[in-house]
Structures are given as C-alpha cells and as structure tokens.
C-alpha cells in the first residue's frame, strides 16, 4: 500500500518520547551528540512550517485570523529555537561526541522520519513557471486546508513541548559544569525557551485540540505518486477485490489528474479515450448500484442502524442517476469523433487501466469470480451474505464502491473540461458516411455542428454533477459506517477552502534555515534585538517575547530589502570613485533622520546620551543611508537597530 504521512509522524513522536526519557543527566560525549542531533531535528521541524506560505507579519491578514497568527508564532518560535541551536552545534563540531548513545540515536531517527514525512508532503507540489508552488495532486488542496494545517501545527507543538521539557533538563544539569562550551550551553537554554514558546503559541490549543478529522487527514496523506498497478487475477476473493478497487481507483485519480494537464496537446486526448472513459464509468456505476442495493439488504439482515440503511439506499439512488448520465456520454461518442487526425492507437493512461476497475467492480457485483463484460460470463448478482459476511466486510465493500465512484467522478470532471476545450477548438467531427445523402461533403469527416457539440458538453455537465452527487452520498455513508474510505470524504470537505499555500521544495539538507533564503552576495544587516531589550527588562512572558521576536524578524526582512535597494541604486547612480565616508557618519545621519521623522518614538526608545553612542556597529557599512538617490523625508528603517544599541 502507499505510504502515508502517519507512517512517519507516529514513529518520529515515539523516538522523541524515547529520547526525552533519557533524562537530563547524560555523559558529556552523549550530551554533545544530543545537541547536534537536536539542531538537525528542530531545523527539520522548522522546515515543515517554512513550507507554508503565510501572510507577512504585521499585516491585517496576519492579525485577523487567530489560526494564521498561531501558525506565524509557532514558525517564528521554532526558527528561533533552530537559530539558537545552530551555534550550539557549531561549538561542538570539533569535540568528541558519543553518537551511539540511545538518546542521540532516537533523535537521529526522529529527524529521519520527520524529513521523510516532509519529502512525502513535497511530492504533492511542483514549482510553477514563475517559481510559485503549485499543487500537482488531488491531495494538494487538502494539505493546505485549515484542518490539516492546524493538525500539523498541533503535531509540531507537541514535539516542541516534549523537546522543551527535556532540553530544559539538559541545560539545568549541564550548564557550566558539564564541560560544554559556553555557546553550546547558552544555545541549549535559549532553544529550550523557544521550544516552550512554540509549544504554547496557540492560546486555543490549551482548550481545544485540532478536530479529529484534521488529525486523521494529516496522518492519512498518501505519497503523491500512484501505487504500483495490480492487474486483476483470477478468482480474487471479496477482500482482495475491495483492496484492488482501492488501488486501481487511486491510480486512476493520479492518471486523470496527469492527463488533464496534457489534454490540450496529447495525441491520446481523442474520442477513443474519452469514449472508453465514459463506457467504463457507466459499467462501473451500474455494478456499483447493484453492490449498494445488495449491501442495503445485508445491512437489514445484520440489523445495522437505520441511518446506515437509509444512506445505503440513498447512495444507490444517486448511482442510479450517475451511470445513465455516463452512458449518455458514451452514446454521444458513437457518432462524434476527433477525426482522422486524432485517430491512432494512442489512448489515455486512464483508458489504459480503467478496465481493471470495470473487472473488479463487476466481479464484486456479480456471482462469478471470472466475470468480464462478455455474454458468456454474465451471471446473477452476488448474494448479500457472500458480499459482506460481517459488518467489517460491509464497511470494506462500501469503501471499495466509494473509491470507485470517487475515481469516475474525478475522471468525468477532468473530461468535462477537456471535451469542452475540444469543442471550443473545433476538434469534434462526424463521419460523413453517417450524414444523410444530401450532404455533399468530400472529406471523411465533417465538423460537428455546434449544437451537437454543445449537447455533448451538456451531457458531460450532467454526468459530472451526477457522479459528484453520488460521490458525496458515499462520503456521508462512509463516515457514518466507519468505512476505511472515510478519509476521502474528509479530504473532499477539507479541500474546499485552503488558507495556506506551500513553498516549493528546497531539497536542502544543510543546517541553514530554509526561509528566508539569503540573498546572494548581499550584506545581511542585523536587526535591532527588541527581544533582548525586553529580556533585559526582565520580561519573560512568552507571548510578549514572541511579538518582540516577530518585530526583529520583520526588521531583518526590511533591512535586507533596503540593503538590496540601496546597493542597486548606488550601483546605478554613483560614480565609480566614491568619497570615503567618515566612521560613524552613516549611523549618525540615520539617527538624525529618525529623530526628525519620528520624535515621539525617540522619546520612548532612545536613551539619553550623545548621538555618537549610537554607533554600535550594527549599521550595514556598505549601505550608505544618505546617498543622493534618497527622496526628501527618507526614513531608513535601520534606525531600529540604533534605538536599542546603547541599551
């Protein structure tokens, strides 16, 4: 079966728990190894959140939505924790570490699992032409949906909580007496504080866990590539048929999505493929209706709840509307064609495999293990007790029909768009031999009349709606019955309103933070450390410290941007020989600008003392502030740096 994210998150949590059980009193070599592994692990955790495209801090979007605010806060706290651990690990690089200690091994394993889980998520996204992330699977909008994002945040907060408590122990028992370099001890303590902050960034988290649906979806996210094909074999028993239908449906969903992107140019985007899709959808729907009718009878025999029985009947009714709509499409393709230019042996990847779905669904519906759509293999419907001996079997059968219906619904939806494009592009024809004899057309195909093309498109709309309704009815049934396919239902519900996007994969396994990516050959100015100011004022409230860190982070971004702008401007405007600047001139000018521009702010922030005291070396020395290109009233944001420097 396809790997799912839960296969990685669960063991990662277990390894973190096991590592934390080691306690704080570790031998020095093991302590060194643990700090190095912690650095890697927290960086990986940070990357999960770096993948989310969140609104910029201090924007209305970031403050209006509590969930987004919580995501931003968690990300920032984790980034800070990682940034604290980097120097700690670097300070231990040349020292002997005991990498064989179980605690280090557990952390290493947790990191590997989390990294693999992140890789799994990345398989659902590609990088668009402009570098923007683009979902490439049906699961992509689910991954970025609010419930799944909330569940992911909760998972990372839970990991942070465990690590925070443990690292606090490690730093208490270690400190200066453990033989660690000062940078390592300090980094560990700071990381512990930030991990604790990350664990408690969501005020609602204390009162309300993320909904179970979000957690189930998160754990159930599959890898973004199809499972291997398993062609039907002879005489598959019911459980294997159900499992086979699930696999085939998953493969068809992938194929439909892939083929949809190719429908404007692929030679396989032809009437033969689309006709085959409609044919198989109609037969699958027909067999599925039989299965549901049989299951409804079995539910009555097993005395299942009236709700399940009613929903089985309702789903069967919905399918009884869906398959005739698919058949209507197939009938239209009897006479409409994509013409000689598109006639060939090329068929779509969906058409190449959809017979697997037909065979397995038919073999589940009919009392013939070798069933095929031949007259010779026709047989009566399978008996209800044979279809589902137990309630568990009934759930599995519901899941199989659910998957099959979901697949044909998605295939029909994709074909609806593709065929409409073909009609708009005048790529639909009729064989002239089928036209009345008074039509004198010398070629073998004549363009399909617009009314006929519109009729075909209308059939697709009808079928798309009907199959979607059938899939929705099965969504309800799957959830009520506790079918293994209920994840499909949750995914469909969650995919409706994505609030976050994802960054393209960086595929970077180094310890450098993934975001923001450092600009090449650009001076990275230091932002003012408002957080340090607050700490010096003995403010320890995590929320306030986090806001301070957010301010620092935003200042860092603005400074980086200003530096680039300034350098670009200088490179254009300034002559090659520049007048040497006196030491301290840039910051002094900058401070003057700020004083003139924002005296009120200075009243609260600037300390008493000469302006020359503001030259704390934080100004980017290669970025002149008073270059001729500055407009009147220019306010360099670097002033934030200088405000707090003397403190």
Partner 1 sequence: MPEISSITTRLRDADSLPDTLPAAFDAFEAIRRLARGYEDTVPALFAAFMTTADAAVDGREAITIAPSLPPDRCGGAGVSMPQAVVPVEEIAGALAGLGELLTDRLWRAAELAATAADRAACAEAAQAAGHICQLMARGDHDSRPR
Is there binding between residue 274 and partner 1 (CB under 8 A)?
no
Is there binding between residue 229 and partner 1 (CB under 8 A)?
no
Is there binding between residue 632 and partner 1 (CB under 8 A)?
no
CB of 460 to partner 1, least distance (A): 17
Distance CA 259, CA 630 (A): 53
Is there binding between residue 643 and partner 1 (CB under 8 A)?
no
Is there binding between residue 279 and partner 1 (CB under 8 A)?
yes
CB of 293 to partner 1, least distance (A): 11
Distance CA 27, CA 276 (A): 68
Residue choice 13, 86, 300, 343 for contact with partner 1 (CB under 8 A): 343
Nearer to partner 1, 334 or 508 (CB): 334
**SS3 sequence of 447-499:** ECCHHHHHHHHHHHHHHHHHHHHHHHHHHHHHHHHCCCCHHHHHHHHHCCCCC
DSSP-derived letter for residue 611 is G
CB of 100 to partner 1, least distance (A): 53
CB of 70 to partner 1, least distance (A): 53
CB of 443 to partner 1, least distance (A): 9
Element containing residue 554 per DSSP (H, E): helix 542-573
Question: What is the chain's Cα-based Rg?
Answer: 32
DSSP-derived letter for residue 302 is T
Q: Which of residues 321-340 bind partner 1 (CB under 8 A)?
A: 327, 330-331, 333-334, 337, 340
Distance CA 423, CA 417 (A): 10
Distance CA 260, CA 464 (A): 15
Is there binding between residue 282 and partner 1 (CB under 8 A)?
yes
Closest CA to 405 of 332, 316, 500, 531: 316
Torsion angles phi and psi, residue 127, rounded to 5: -100, 125
CB of 327 to partner 1, least distance (A): 7
**C-alpha distance across the termini of the chain, in Å:** 60
Closest CA to 288 of 348, 242, 329, 331: 242
Distance CA 581, CA 590 (A): 14
Nearer to partner 1, 89 or 283 (CB): 283
Distance CA 410, CA 172 (A): 57
- Length of the chain (residues): 647
**How many residues sit in the footprint of partner 1 (CB under 8 A)?**
44
Answer whether 587's CB lies under 8 Å from 623's CB: no
Is there binding between residue 537 and partner 1 (CB under 8 A)?
no
Residues in a beta bridge with 127: 133
Q: Which of residues 142-161 bind partner 1 (CB under 8 A)?
A: none
CB of 73 to partner 1, least distance (A): 57
Q: Binding pattern to partner 1, positions 373-392, x when CB under 8 A?
A: xxxxxxxx------------
Residue 329 C-beta-side C-alpha neighbours within 13 Å:
34
Nearer to partner 1, 49 or 365 (CB): 365
Residue choice 93, 206, 207, 433 for contact with partner 1 (CB under 8 A): 433
Is there binding between residue 359 and partner 1 (CB under 8 A)?
yes
Only segment of 38-46, 268-276, 494-502, 562-570 that touches partner 1 (CB under 8 A): 268-276
DSSP-H helix ranges across 92-145? 102-122, 140-143
CA pseudo-torsion sign 461, 462, 467, 473: positive
CB of 433 to partner 1, least distance (A): 5
Nearer to partner 1, 433 or 604 (CB): 433
CB of 483 to partner 1, least distance (A): 25
CB of 372 to partner 1, least distance (A): 5
Is there binding between residue 437 and partner 1 (CB under 8 A)?
yes
Residue choice 60, 206, 233, 603 for contact with partner 1 (CB under 8 A): 233
Q: Which of residues 559-618 bind partner 1 (CB under 8 A)?
A: none
CB of 81 to partner 1, least distance (A): 57
Nearer to partner 1, 25 or 334 (CB): 334
Residues in a beta bridge with 52: 502
Residues that bind partner 1 (CB under 8 A): 232-235, 271-272, 275-276, 279, 282-283, 286-287, 290, 327, 330-331, 333-334, 337, 340, 343, 358-359, 362, 366, 368, 370, 372-380, 431, 433-434, 437, 442, 444-445
């Amino acid at each position: 079966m396809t790997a799912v994210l839960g296969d990685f998150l669960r063991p990662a949590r277990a390894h973190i728990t096991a590592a934390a059980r080691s306690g704080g009193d570790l031998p020095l070599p093991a302590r060194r190894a643990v700090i190095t592994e912690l650095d890697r692990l927290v960086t990986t955790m940070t990357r999960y959140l770096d993948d989310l495209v969140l609104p910029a801090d201090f924007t209305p979007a970031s403050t209006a939505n509590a969930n987004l605010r919580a995501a931003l806060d968690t990300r920032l706290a984790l980034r800070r924790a990682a940034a604290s651990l980097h120097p700690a690990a670097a300070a231990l690089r040349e020292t002997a570490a005991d990498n064989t200690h179980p605690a280090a091994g557990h952390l290493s394993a947790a990191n590997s699992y989390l990294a693999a889980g992140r890789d799994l998520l990345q398989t659902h996204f590609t990088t668009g032409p402009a570098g923007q992330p683009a979902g490439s699977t049906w699961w992509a909008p689910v991954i970025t949906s609010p419930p799944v994002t909330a569940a992911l945040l909760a998972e990372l907060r839970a990991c942070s909580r465990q690590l925070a408590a443990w690292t606090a122990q490690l730093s208490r028992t270690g400190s200066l007496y453990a033989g660690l370099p000062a940078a390592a001890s300090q980094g560990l303590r700071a990381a512990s504080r930030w991990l604790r902050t990350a664990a408690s960034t969501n005020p609602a988290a204390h009162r309300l866990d993320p909904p179970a649906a979000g957690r189930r979806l998160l754990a159930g996210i599959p890898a973004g590539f199809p499972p291997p094909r398993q062609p039907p074999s002879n005489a598959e028993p019911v459980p294997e048929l159900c499992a086979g239908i699930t696999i085939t449906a998953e493969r068809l969903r992938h194929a439909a999505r892939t083929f949809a992107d190719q429908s404007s140019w692929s030679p396989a985007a032809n009437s033969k493929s689309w006709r085959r899709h409609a044919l198989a959808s109609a037969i699958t729907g027909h067999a599925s209706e039989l299965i549901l009718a049989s299951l409804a009878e079995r539910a009555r025999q097993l005395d299942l709840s009236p709700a399940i029985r009613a929903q089985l009947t309702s789903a069967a009714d919905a399918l009884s509307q869906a398959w005739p709509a698919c058949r209507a499409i197939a009938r239209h393709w009897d006479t409409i064609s994509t013409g000689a230019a598109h006639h060939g042996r090329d068929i779509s990847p969906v058409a190449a495999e959809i017979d697997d779905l037909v065979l397995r669904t038919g073999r589940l519906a009919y009392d013939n293990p070798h069933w095929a759509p031949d007259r010779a293999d026709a047989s009566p419907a399978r008996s209800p007790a044979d279809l589902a001996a137990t309630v568990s079997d009934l759930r599995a059968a519901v899941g199989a029909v659910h998957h099959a219906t979901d697949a044909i619904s998605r295939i029909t939806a994709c074909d609806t768009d593709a065929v409409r494009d073909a009609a708009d592009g005048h790529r639909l024809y009729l064989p002239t031999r089928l036209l009345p004899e008074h039509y004198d057309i010398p070629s073998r195909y004549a363009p399909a009349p617009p009314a006929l093309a519109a009729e075909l498109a209308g059939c697709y709309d009808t079928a798309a709606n009907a199959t979607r309704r059938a899939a929705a009815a099965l969504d309800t049934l799957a959830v009520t019955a506790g079918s293994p396919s209920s994840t499909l239902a949750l995914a469909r519900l969650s995919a409706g309103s994505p609030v976050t996007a994802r960054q393209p994969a960086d595929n970077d396994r180094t310890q450098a933070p993934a975001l923001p990516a450092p600009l090449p050959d650009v001076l990275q100015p230091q932002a003012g450390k408002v957080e340090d100011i607050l700490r010096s004022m003995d403010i320890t409230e995590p929320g306030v410290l986090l806001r301070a860190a957010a301010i620092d982070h935003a200042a860092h971004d603005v400074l980086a941007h200003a530096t680039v702008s300034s350098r670009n401007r200088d490179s254009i405007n300034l002559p090659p020989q520049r007048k040497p600047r006196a030491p301290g001139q840039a910051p002094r000018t900058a401070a003057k600008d700020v004083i003139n521009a924002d005296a009120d702010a200075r009243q609260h922030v600037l300390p008493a003392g000469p302006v020359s005291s503001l030259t704390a070396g934080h100004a980017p020395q290669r970025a002149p502030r008073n270059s001729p290109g500055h407009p009147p009233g220019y306010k360099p944001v670097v002033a934030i740096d200088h405000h707090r420097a003397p403190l």
